[in-house]
Every structure is written in structure tokens, then in C-alpha cells.
């Protein structure tokens, strides 16, 4: 009976094949295999609409508002944000290219750098953070639910609180959080290939609401003049470090998407579809959204005489002053309802899908993307996200802590792919548990030492160690001012240090198929990795062609080149005896 239950719970494509070890079976299921051509449906336009839908969300508004509430003028805050998202766009495109070329997700890419078993650590690391972030976004979405219900039923604001003060949340806010989480579940259950329609819907509805909120704020402030004339309150080094902190908040906000973008770019039609579409749409979309957020936040000082950094609270203040005014209630209802759609969209794109891919790779026998996304939703619900959003300082601190750990993972992987391996990944080895000792003919390039690449872990720890002291200071420890300021720039420090340490270690202790620093070898990345038997290929079948080729997809050329001889992925290569 137990065996029957295990088989019933197993994921399609993860079954143990005859002669295959359990360890080999733990490296694949249908969701983890390269995406075949018929499922690569994302064009440049799809990526543009995706970023429009992702950029127009309350979290981006809050980052912009935080910069203003910290003492920057509107123009200074906007300048910091524009520079920050330009850096984000570059990081996203660089990482997305890997997924677009090899059609694999981040967890599989991580195997080439950290080892087939070592990759579990960065996978769990990122999955855990995505779960926490899912909860944060859901709580913000719950605040929008409160506004919608208050607009329809003003007495909803006065629901008696039956929770103790130690809970940190009221009955009303918890109920709204629960409702948002409940309504999000149908979207969480969708496969990545099925969510494009929602992103397209969000890219239309949310911009209308955002500009309506923007216009309403300007009207209440009697024009833009009183808003933009508000001066900065910081000078000298305080201004410089706050400008830097605001810039870094943008990068920290996108740390997970900059790393997990291959989960989506693997479905791109061509590598060109992930390049200019994202380089332009990311800074443009987030820049416009941030401008709206800055003006809206700055208007609160003119309208109410105090700074309200959270746009949800700003809408709530309108209801507080005119709870029974029909125009106010209608305006708040439609804006808040659109923001609910926005929060659901960003939660799916940035959190549930990434956690779903990660958890599917960590336990492919029993977890696919859908089940992993549901786990993320459950963890996000249980982690009490309201504690992170008590004030703007808590929010900015969380963003910095969030990026501290992801930056070192990203730096190590980017260095390995672009500098050490020059764009070449041996696909069969990503799905092989073989060490190559008993049978050298089996793929084993990423087995390293027991499945762990110690060079990558040393680089990862080095990147974190540089700023972990500042992190301790944020938690309350007594640390130097220098450590605190290094923590502000934790992401670039972690990225650069981990990458440089990994490059040095790979020079001293070379990896198989790696390129030494002294070698001036050309970049070997293929235009697109392809298997000859893609035509008629069943994605649920883990068998690929007996000969791996590289074809010039999207170039109109039928010429095939193989810059690096590789074995094909076939059912035999999954067997490790």
C-alpha cells in the first residue's frame, strides 16, 4: 500500500527506469527537461508586456516612496531609481541569455556551477527567500483587499479585533490577507506556459489605475508645483549614502528575478527575444512607475501635512476623511482592485513560479512546478509578513538582507558561464548522477567532488563574508560605520567578490572544460542548443536524440555547427549504476 501511495504521489517523468539508481532518478522530471521548440512561445512583445505587468506594482511604488521619506528630493530619488534599474536590466539580460540558449531553468543551470548535488543549496536558498517574499507581496495585496471592502462596506474598517497585540496584526487585516491568498490560488496552480494571458491583462489594467492615482494626487495637491518644490533634507555624505541606498534598494528588489529569469527565458523563441526587449522595457517601466510613486508619496506632505510613504495608506487616508463620499469610494475601489490584480501578477512572476522551479529541482520525484508553487503560497502565508512592513526602515532592511545571499550565487554562476566555460554547457551531464569512475563514458562533468563544486561554495561564502558584519549591525549588533556602509552596497560587493574568487580558484584548480585566465579563447556559446529529435518530441518523455547538435535558430540558416563536441541526452544517460 505504501508503495502504491508513493507511486501515486510521484511526478510524471520522474519514474525510476530499469537499471537506474535512485540518485539518478532524483535529477529529473518533465518540468526540469529542456523546453522543446513547440513550447517556446515567448516573443519580444511577451517579455515587454511581462515587464510592464511586473513593474507596475505596489512594491515599486513603495521603494520610490521610501527614497523620498528618507530625505531625498523627488528628482534625486528618481535619479537613483533610474540608475538602479539600468543595472537591473543588464543583470537580467545577462542571466536570461543562458536560459534562452539552452532552454533550461535556473535550478538546472546552477548544477553546472555548484555541482549536480551542490546546486540544492542555492536552490533552497532562493526558494526560501521567494517564499518569504510571496508572503510580503500577499500581505500588501491584502491591504488592497481591505480598501476594496471598505469602499463597498465602510463598516468593514471597524471589525472588532479579536487578536492579541503580540500578534502584530488585527483581525481585519488578517482576514484581508487570507482572502487575497485564497483568491491567488487558482493562478498559483497554473503552469508557466499558461500565465501569459494574465500578464497581458495586468499590463493593461494596472497602468490605467496607476495614472488615475497619479492624477488624483496632483489634483488634491493643487498641481505639481507644490509637490516638486519640496527640498531634500539631506546634505553631504548623508545624501550620498542615502542616494546609494535607494539605488541598491532597486537592485535588491529585483535580486530574485535577475537570478530566476531563465525560468521564463527558457520559453523564448530566440535569444534576441530576451535582449533589447528587456534592456529597454525594464528601466522604462520601472522608471515611470517610480516617478508616479514619488509624486504620489510627495503629494501626501502637501495634502495631509505629513509624509505617508505607503500608497495603500494614502488611499486609506482618503477613505478615513470621506468614508461615505461616493466619488472617493468609487475611486479607491477601482484603484485598489487594479492593484490586487497587480500584486497577484508580480507574486506569480517573481515568487511562486521561481519557488516552484526550485522546489521541483530539489525534490523532482514528488514536486513539480505546480506543487512547488503551492508550497511557496503555504509558507508565505505562515511567515507573518506584516512584521517586515511596519515602517519604511524595516522594508528597506529586508530588501538589503534579501540580496545579500543571492548576489554571491549570481556572481559565481555568471563567472562560471561567461568567463570559465565561455558559454558552453554539457547538457547530458546536468541530468547525470554518474561520477565517471566506474564508467567514464557516462556524462559526469558536473559531478566534481561527490556532486559538489567546492570552488563555487568557497566563492559563495567569500561574497557573503564581506558584508555579513553589516548585516549583524542591522540586526542590533554593535558594528563600525564602515561595516554598515559596506552592507548598503552588499549586492555589488557580493557579486564581484564571489565572481573574482571563483575565477581565481578555477585558475589554480581548473575545472573540466574550463578556460584558464592565460588562454585567450573565443566565446563558444551556441546560438541555440537543439536536439535533432525535437520534431514530434513528447515533453513527458525524458529521451532525447542520440546526437546533440547546435542549430542557428532564428537566423534562417539550416547550417548546423557543433562548437563543442557533446553527447546527446538520451535515456541511457540518466542511468547511473
pLDDT in tens, 77-105: 899 999 999 999 999 999 999 999 999 99
Report whether pLDDT(399) > 60: no
% of the chain beyond a pLDDT of 90 = 37
Q: Tally Cβ neighbours within 10 Å of residue 521.
A: 8
The predicted model gives 280-285 an average pLDDT of: 94
Stronger pLDDT, 26 or 544, i.e. the higher one: 26
Q: Which distant-in-sequence residues (6+ apart) come within 8 Å of 108 by Cβ?
A: 32, 361, 430
Q: What is the C-alpha to C-alpha distance for residues 233 and 510, in angstroms, rounded to an integer? A: 52
Nine cell digits for residue 378: 503555504
The pLDDT value recorded for residue 273 is: 93
pLDDT in the model for residue 555? 32
Instruction: Give the integer Cα–Cα distance in Å for 575 and 23.
Output: 9
DSSP state of 431: G
Residue 445 CA to residue 510 CA, distance in Å, equals: 12
Helix (H, G, I), strand (E, B) or coil at 561: strand
Q: pLDDT by residue (tens digit) across 487-515? A: 888 899 999 999 999 999 999 999 888 87
Average pLDDT, the chain: 82
Exposed, middle or buried: residue 162 (CB in 10 Å: 0-12, 13-18, 19+)? Answer: exposed
Which helix (DSSP H) or strand (DSSP E) does residue 149 occupy?
helix 120-152
Q: Would you tell me how many other CB atoms lie within 10 Å of the CB of residue 122?
A: 27
Q: How far is CA 476 from CA 5, 166, 217, 482, in A?
A: 48, 21, 38, 15
Q: What is the pLDDT of residue 146?
A: 96
Note the pLDDT of residue 554: 31
286-289: long-range contacts (C-beta < 8 A, 24 or more apart)?
286/55, 286/60, 286/81, 286/85, 286/88, 286/250, 287/78, 287/81, 287/82, 287/85, 288/55, 289/55, 289/56, 289/57, 289/60, 289/61, 289/64, 289/210
CATH code for the domain defined by 30-393: 1.10.4160.10
- Cβ atoms of 356 and 130 within 8 Å: the answer is no
3-state secondary structure of 286: helix
Q: Compute the distance between CA of residue 395 and CA of residue 388 in angstroms, rounded to an integer.
A: 6
Please give the grid coordinates belonging to residue 269: 523563441
Helix axes 454-465, 490-508, angle to 10 degrees: 150
Q: In what order do the strands lie in the sheet with 529-531?
A: 529-531, 548-551, 560-561
**Whether the Cβ atoms of residue 295 and residue 73 lie closer than 8 Å to each other:** no
What per-residue confidence (pLDDT) applies to 190?
A: 81
Neighbours of 550 (CB within 10 A): 18
Residue with the bigger pLDDT between 51 and 62: it is 51
R_g of the chain computed on alpha carbons? 25
User: What sign does the CA torsion over 392, 394, 398, 404 have?
Assistant: positive
Residues ≥6 apart with Cβ < 8 Å to 374: 185, 188, 189
Higher pLDDT, 7 or 551: 7
Contact of 436 with 442, CB cutoff 8 Å: yes
The pLDDT value given to residue 396: 56
185 sits in which H/E element: helix 171-188
**How far is the C-alpha of 81 from the C-alpha of 60, rounded, in Å?**
10
List 561's β-bridge partners, or say none.
550
Whether residue 549 is predicted with pLDDT greater than 60 in this model: the reply is: no
Number of neighbours of residue 449 by Cβ within 10 angstroms: 11
What cell numbers appear for 209 in the block?
489605475
Helix axes 58-69, 311-321, angle to 10 degrees: 90
Query: H or E stretch including 548?
Result: strand 548-551
Higher pLDDT, 302 or 522: 302
Mean pLDDT, residues 262-284? 93
The predicted structure's pLDDT at residue 98: 95
pLDDT digits (tens, 9 = 90+) for 509-542: 998 888 777 676 777 787 777 766 554 343 333 3
At a CB cut-off of 8 Å and minimum separation 6, what does 172 contact? 146, 156, 157, 159, 161
Beta bridge partners of 452: 449
Predicted confidence band of residue 174 (pLDDT cuts 50, 70, 90)? very high
d(CA 526, CA 59): 37
Average pLDDT over residues 107-131: 90
| Spans of all domains in the chain | 30-393
* Residue located via cell numbers 556524462: 443
Contact 105, 138 (CB under 8 A): no
Section 31-49 average pLDDT: 88
Take residue 234 and report the three cell numbers written for it.
539631506
CB 84 within 8 A of CB 251: yes
Task: Tell me: pLDDT of 15 over 80.
Answer: no
| pLDDT tens-digit readout, 427-481 | 988 988 877 666 666 777 898 998 999 999 999 999 999 888 887 777 677 888 8
Amino acid at each position: 500500500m505504501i508503495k502504491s501511495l508513493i507511486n501515486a504521489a510521484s511526478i510524471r517523468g520522474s519514474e525510476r527506469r530499469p537499471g537506474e539508481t535512485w540518485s539518478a532518478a532524483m535529477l529529473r522530471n518533465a518540468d526540469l527537461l529542456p523546453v522543446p521548440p513547440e513550447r517556446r512561445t515567448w516573443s519580444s512583445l511577451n517579455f515587454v508586456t511581462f515587464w510592464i505587468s511586473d513593474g507596475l506594482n505596489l512594491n515599486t511604488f513603495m521603494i520610490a516612496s521610501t527614497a523620498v521619506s528618507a530625505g531625498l528630493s523627488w528628482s534625486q530619488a528618481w535619479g537613483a531609481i533610474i540608475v538602479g534599474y539600468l543595472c537591473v536590466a543588464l543583470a537580467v539580460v545577462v542571466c536570461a541569455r543562458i536560459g534562452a540558449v539552452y532552454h533550461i531553468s535556473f535550478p538546472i543551470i546552477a548544477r553546472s556551477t555548484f555541482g549536480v548535488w551542490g546546486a540544492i543549496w542555492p536552490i533552497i536558498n532562493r526558494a526560501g527567500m521567494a517564499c518569504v517574499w510571496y508572503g510580503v507581496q500577499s500581505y500588501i495585496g491584502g491591504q488592497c483587499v481591505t480598501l476594496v471592502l471598505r469602499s463597498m462596506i465602510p463598516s468593514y474598517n471597524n471589525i472588532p479585533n479579536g487578536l492579541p497585540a503580540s500578534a502584530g496584526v488585527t483581525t481585519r487585516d488578517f482576514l484581508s490577507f487570507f482572502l487575497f491568498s485564497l483568491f491567488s490560488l487558482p493562478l498559483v496552480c497554473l503552469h508557466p506556459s499558461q500565465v501569459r494571458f494574465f500578464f497581458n491583462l495586468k499590463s493593461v489594467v494596472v497602468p490605467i489605475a496607476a495614472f488615475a492615482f497619479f492624477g488624483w494626487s496632483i489634483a488634491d495637491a493643487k498641481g505639481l508645483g507644490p509637490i516638486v518644490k519640496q527640498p531634500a533634507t539631506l546634505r553631504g555624505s548623508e545624501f550620498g549614502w542615502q542616494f546609494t541606498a535607494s539605488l541598491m534598494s532597486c537592485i535588491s528588489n529585483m535580486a530574485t528575478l535577475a537570478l530566476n529569469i531563465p525560468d521564463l527565458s527558457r520559453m523564448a523563441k530566440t535569444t534576441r527575444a530576451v535582449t533589447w526587449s528587456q534592456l529597454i522595457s525594464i528601466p522604462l517601466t520601472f522608471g515611470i512607475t517610480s516617478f508616479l510613486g514619488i509624486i504620489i508619496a510627495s503629494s501626501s506632505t502637501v495634502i495631509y501635512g505629513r509624509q505617508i510613504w505607503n500608497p495603500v495608506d494614502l488611499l486609506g487616508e482618503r477613505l478615513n476623511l470621506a468614508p461615505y463620499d461616493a466619488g472617493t469610494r468609487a475611486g479607491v475601489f477601482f484603484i485598489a482592485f487594479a492593484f490586487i490584480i497587480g500584486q497577484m501578477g508580480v507574486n506569480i512572476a517573481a515568487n511562486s513560479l521561481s519557488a516552484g522551479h526550485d522546489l521541483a529541482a530539489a525534490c523532482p520525484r514528488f514536486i513539480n512546478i505546480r506543487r512547488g508553487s503551492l508550497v511557496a503560497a503555504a509558507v508565505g502565508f505562515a511567515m507573518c509578513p506584516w512584521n517586515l512592513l511596519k515602517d519604511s526602515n524595516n522594508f528597506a532592511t529586508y530588501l538589503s538582507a534579501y540580496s545579500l545571499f543571492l548576489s554571491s550565487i549570481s556572481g559565481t554562476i555568471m563567472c562560471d558561464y561567461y568567463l570559465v566555460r565561455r558559454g558552453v554547457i554539457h547538457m547530458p551531464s546536468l541530468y547525470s548522477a554518474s561520477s565517471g569512475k566506474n564508467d567514464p563514458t557516462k556524462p559526469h562533468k558536473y559531478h566534481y567532488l561527490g556532486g559538489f563544486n567546492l570552488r563555487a561554495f568557497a566563492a559563495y561564502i567569500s561574497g557573503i563574508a564581506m558584508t555579513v558584519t553589516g548585516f549583524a549591525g542591522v540586526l542590533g549588533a554593535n558594528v563600525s560605520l564602515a561595516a554598515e556602509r559596506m552592507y548598503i552596497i552588499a549586492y555589488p560587493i557580493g557579486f564581484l567578490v564571489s565572481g573574482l574568487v571563483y575565477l581565481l580558484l578555477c585558475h589554480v584548480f581548473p575545472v573540466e572544460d574550463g578556460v584558464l585566465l592565460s588562454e585567450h579563447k573565443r566565446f563558444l556559446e551556441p546560438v541555440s542548443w537543439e536536439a535533432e529529435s525535437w520534431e514530434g518530441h513528447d515533453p513527458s518523455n525524458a529521451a532525447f536524440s542520440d546526437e546533440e547538435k547546435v542549430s542557428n535558430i532564428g537566423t534562417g540558416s539550416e547550417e548546423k555547427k557543433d562548437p563543442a563536441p557533446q553527447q546527446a541526452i538520451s535515456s541511457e544517460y540518466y542511468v547511473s549504476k
